[in-house]
């Protein structure tokens, strides 16, 4: 029911009114209680998703019900040879699988995500088969994920599909907990090392963030998924391809300010706020959709496995 309702809402557009500042090239803000798409900007274009991928990696790993206390090693094969990205998790360190999952989600460590796929039952091949099945199960028809970290530009999706992924990930208590910690300390070869959340809004006063994941590659730009509560509403926010980290944060701030009725920050580009139904076709920009979405109200939350 959720998939059909979301599709119907994405096809519902409205005429333009005043401009709302926005910098991300693709965006979607979905309100859970009403089933309404509040804001939308080019949400059906398929683009690279960077480390947002790691939410899918986490779901597939948790679905396998592996022992989170089992100690696994970070190996040389887990090192990024595609982008040569840095990591604060050294090769040879031994960590509980639960800690590796924690590092992959909270601090977006690529070696950690690679190790989770490598130690999946049946190895990386079985992991990717499980990812493909999960994508199909969630109805993410415009999504392809070829590896666990998001470093590959071939990991691609749409803002609309990523709302589905965020909604599913929010039903996993482990994911909501690990992605909403601002920092934690890990024992790395006998040293206490602090790792921080890549989303600096997590833990900030005035923010009630219930799920979070950032992403960045040159191809994907600055990306962000959040499930958050503001002004009594639970919303899923997807922001894709902001050119700068500060622009991504301003976009997130403006979503919250829009929801709470506060003045908006200025941005380099604009999205559109809609006030009436469009007669035909898609328009450029982001639009407020005042849709009743009756069928979404009766949607029951469930853990997708």
Please list the active-site residues.
51, 54, 108
DSSP secondary structure string, 195-238? Answer: EE-S-TTTT-TT-EEEEEEEEEETTTEEEEEEEEEETTEEEEEE
Nearest to 254 by CA among 296, 201, 181, 176: 201
Is residue 180 a contact partner of residue 209, using CB atoms and an 8 Å limit? yes
Q: What share of the chain is helix, strand, coil (3-state, %, to 5)?
A: 30, 25, 40
Residues 67-82 as b or e (16 or more Cβ within 10 Å = b): eeeeebebeeebeeee
Collapse the DSSP code of 36 into the 3-class scheme (helix H, G, I; strand E, B; otherwise coil) and give the result: strand
Q: Are strands 221-230 and 208-217 parallel, antiparallel or unpaired?
A: antiparallel
Is residue 155 a contact partner of residue 131, using CB atoms and an 8 Å limit? no
Cα 199 from Cα 130, distance rounded (Å): 28
How many residues can be counted in the chain? 305
């Amino acid at each position: 029911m959720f998939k059909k309702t979301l599709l119907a809402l994405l096809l519902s557009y409205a005429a333009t009114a005043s401009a709302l500042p926005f910098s991300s090239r693709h965006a979607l803000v979905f309100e859970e209680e009403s089933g309404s798409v509040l804001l939308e900007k080019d949400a059906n274009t398929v683009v690279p998703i960077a480390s947002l991928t790691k939410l899918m990696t986490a779901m597939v790993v948790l679905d396998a019900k592996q022992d989170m206390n089992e100690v696994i090693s970070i190996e040389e094969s887990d090192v990024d040879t595609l982008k040569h990205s840095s990591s604060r998790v050294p090769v040879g360190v031994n960590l509980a699988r639960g800690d590796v999952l924690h590092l992959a989600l909270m601090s977006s460590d690529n070696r950690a995500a690679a190790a989770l796929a490598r130690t999946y039952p049946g190895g990386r091949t079985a992991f990717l088969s499980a990812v493909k099945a999960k994508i199909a199960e969630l109805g993410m028809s415009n999504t392809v994920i070829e590896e666990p970290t998001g470093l590959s530009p071939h990991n691609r999706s749409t803002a609309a599909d990523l709302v589905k992924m965020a909604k599913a990930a929010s039903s996993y208590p482990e994911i909501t907990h690990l992605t909403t910690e601002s920092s934690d300390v890990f024992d790395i070869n006998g040293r206490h090392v602090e790792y921080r959340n890549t989303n600096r809004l997590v833990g900030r006063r005035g923010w009630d963030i219930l799920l979070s994941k950032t992403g960045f590659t040159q191809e994907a730009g600055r990306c962000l998924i959040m499930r958050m509560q503001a002004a009594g509403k639970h919303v899923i926010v997807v922001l894709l391809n902001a050119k700068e980290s500060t622009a991504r944060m301003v976009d997130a701030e403006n979503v919250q300010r829009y929801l709470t009725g506060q003045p908006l920050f200025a941005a380099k580009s604009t999205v559109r706020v809609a006030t009436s139904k469009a007669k035909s076709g898609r328009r450029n920009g982001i639009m407020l959709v005042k849709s009743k979405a009756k069928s979404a109200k009766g949607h029951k939350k469930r853990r997708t496995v």
